[in-house]
Amino acid sequence: MTRVPGADAWSEWRPLAGVGPLTSDVLAETVDGGQAFRWQRLPDQGWLGLWSDQVVRLRQDDNGNVAWCGRAGRETATASALRIYFGADRDFAALTDSLPWRSDPHLAACLAAFPGLRILRQPFGETLLGFLCSATKQIVQIKQMLALLAERHGAPVSAAATSPWRRLPTWTELALIPESALRACLLGFRARYIAETAQFLAANPGWLEATEQAPYPLAKERLCSLPGVGEKVADCVLLFGAGRLEAFPVDVWILKTLARRYGLNGWKPAQLAQFGRAHFGPLAGLAQQYLFAWERKHGGR
């Protein structure tokens, strides 16, 4: 690896244990398909991702095996963080096989199109921030908002003089940022929700941690009490930030796929969420991600 004086040095490449092999499309859908918003494709077709104080690069060989490298000297901590982030402690192949694809032809087609797709387990507070930015926005716009928040208000992830990597501001730090400064990060009306949520969390230490550990119905109720958090955002936060696979977010793509493929025209989001949990079972959130990925790629055909 090339090392620049005063800059972060990269570790050697290592296999991403417990993940893959994957097609390039499935890896892209996993890290850049709406679960997370701080990954970017590199010129060599690899990926660069940031979360918490982690900076990681991914690449694939010709057989789809995924390898990673991170900041030199932090290999043990990065390997542990990657295991959590990619849910390597869960057997996603077995979980996916237990979905009702045998009696649901469309779900079977979705699973076949994205073999190996998995649900990320991101830091809970960062996931809440990301999806509070998501209202009426596309993935590329959410990524831009979070990049500006990190650039302008996040601390560097290392002490290297020329390190370009900055983490997202914590909720404690967000509570000290004026709403006008948040709006300058292209947040629009979402700035008020984030500012008010930050003030609430600053006044209630431990609230987020308790919510992450609470049973799904209570955790969702607690999240929906925050400014700007509706059922969809709450379910996204619980699915992608707390590993609650029973959560079934209903966004525009799920509205489309349930109407087009399941005949549920005119159903309200709350009804569709109830249908999803009943039809797909306790792993409805995993099924949802396959439906979401398929509809985004093939739904216009």
Q: Are 295 and 255 spatial neighbours (Cβ–Cβ below 8 Å)?
A: no
How many CA atoms, within 13 angstroms, populate the side-chain half-sphere of residue 279?
18
**pLDDT tens per residue, range 53-110:** 999 999 999 999 999 999 999 999 999 999 999 999 999 999 999 999 999 999 999 9
pLDDT at 5 over 80: no
Task: Determine the structural domain holding residue 27 and report its residue range.
Answer: 1-89
**163 or 5, greater pLDDT:** 163
Give the number of other CB atoms < 10 A from CB of residue 231: 17
* Residue 235 in domain: no
Strand pairing report for 14-15 and 66-70: antiparallel
257 and 285 share one domain: yes
* Number of independent structural domains in the chain: 3
Do 178 and 224 fall within a single domain? Answer: yes
Q: Which of 185, 200, 230 is the last residue of a domain?
A: 230
CATH code of residue 176: 1.10.340.30
24 plus 77 within the same structural domain: yes
Instruction: Give the model confidence (pLDDT) of 106-155 as tens digits.
Output: 999 999 999 999 999 999 999 999 999 998 889 999 999 999 999 999 99
Assess if residue 238 is contained within a domain: no
- Residues 13, 64 contacting (CB under 8 angstroms): no
CATH for 66: 3.30.310
Mean pLDDT of 238-242: 98
Residues 135 and 172 in one domain: yes
**269, 276 Cβ separation under 8 angstroms:** no
Say if 171 falls within a structural domain. yes
Verify that 113 and 132 share a domain, yes or no.
no
Residues 62 and 74 in one domain: yes
Measured in whole angstroms, the distance separating CA 214 from the mean position of its chain's CA atoms is 20
Tell me: do 197 and 264 sit in the same domain. no
